[in-house]
Amino acid sequence: MHEDDVDALIARVNAGEPGAQDALFATAYPALRELASARLRDGGGHAGGLHTTQLVHESYLRLARSTRLRPETRREFFAHAARVMREFIVDTLRRPRAGDALTLDTAVELGLPAEADEVLRLHDALGALQAAEPRLAQVVEMRYFGGYTETEIGEVLGLTERTVRRDWDKARLLLLALLR
């Protein structure tokens, strides 16, 4: 998948071209599976009943219905997709299901156990961070949930790599304080 192809498809979707959204999904599908797999602990296997394919498809349905964001580049699209996946995982965890536990590998970076209640606590803490420091929350979403590098985040947000690094460090400290 070439970055220019995805950017062109995004432009076609934003222009309202019929069939462009399906073409974008078909082109982005392998990368979306990779992103979903990274969000689920065992890389595409079962995780509390949630499968990589299910996460990709449910997230796509939410992306297709979303009017909140109209990404203009590949990076913006995948950052938004990562956010939608996180929201779906949190919604899944909040549904009462006896004995199910969804585990994410992303909690390792903050040094937290990846239990379902920890994921929900992190989601709530991220909501509080969003209210207080929206840019910091955006950096966390892109790095922690989207897997973007500091350079890629800087390109999307129009920040220097050094600023992104400072934002990431500050956000981690604030999140850890909120989680304690």
pLDDT in tens, 87-145: 887 777 777 544 444 344 434 443 434 556 676 777 788 888 889 999 998 888 888 77
Domains of the chain, start order: 1-74 (no CATH), 103-180 (1.10.10.10)
Torsion sign (Cα): 22, 32, 37, 175: negative
pLDDT value, residue 32:
87
- pTM of the entire predicted model: 0.62
pLDDT in tens, 12-39: 888 888 888 888 888 988 888 888 877 7
Burial class for 155, CB neighbours closer than 10 Å (0-12, 13-18, 19+): middle
Q: Which of 7-16, 121-130, 160-169 has the lowest mean pLDDT?
A: 121-130
The mean pLDDT of the chain is: 76
User: Cα separations (Å) of 170 from 23, 134, 175?
Assistant: 39, 12, 9
Written as one letter, the residue type at 46 is H
Instruction: With a cut of 70, say whether residue 67 has pLDDT above it.
Output: no
